[in-house]
Amino acid sequence: MPQSHLLKGLALLSLSALLFASMGVLIRFASHTVDNATVVFMRNLTGTLLLLPFALYQGKRFFITDKLWMHLWRALVGLAAMYGFFYAIAHLPLSNAMVFTYSSPVFIPLVALLFLKEKIKKLLFLKHKLQFYFLNLLLFLFLNDFQNNQLLNCKPIENLYELE
């Protein structure tokens, strides 16, 4: 792979993460004034309006598919995921909600096993079992208000190292 493709990929990945975080902030602001269903509807309406020029340009070809049921299933699952994600952003500390958005790789092997019938190698299974354990630990810490030092009377992080 040429170096320019690697740099472009890293730059776009960084931009994507920044935009995703910005979207979380905007969702949080919107959730103060409207309900979750309205935020999800407006997000989907925006996506539809952005795709409309492509659909009009290509005409009927844009909508032709051999796998309509798969597209409908993906839309339903995506809508449920978006609703849950936006609810989490509205009701959890933003940093906590965003951390869990990056936990999807933990669930991918399970989804691949269930829906695609892919086999999971033992080492990969062990790795994902360990990741799932740490995800549960993180969830435990969030639920026990780790940030407010309620878990096992932990010292605040900033006091662990004395700065001079």
Overall domain count for the chain: 1
> What domain range is 67 assigned to?
12-102
Q: What is the 3-state secondary structure (H, E, C) of 79-94?
A: HHHHHHHHHHHHHCCH
In a domain, residue 134? The reply is: no
Helix crossing, 94-101 with 122-143: angle to 10°? 170
C-alpha–C-alpha distance, residues 85 and 100, integer Å: 9
* pLDDT tens string 67-124: 889 899 999 999 999 999 999 899 888 877 877 777 777 777 778 888 888 887 777 7
Taking only the tens place, the pLDDT of each residue in 13-53 is 999 989 988 988 999 999 999 999 999 999 999 999 999 99
For residue 94, tell me if it sits in a domain. Answer: yes
Residue 143 belongs to some domain of the structure: no
Residue 160 lies in a domain: no
**What was the pLDDT predicted at 45?**
96
The H or E element containing residue 38 is helix 36-58
153 is a domain residue: no
Whether 81 maps to a domain, the answer reads: yes
Residue 45 lies in a domain: yes
Residue 40 falls within a domain, yes or no?
yes
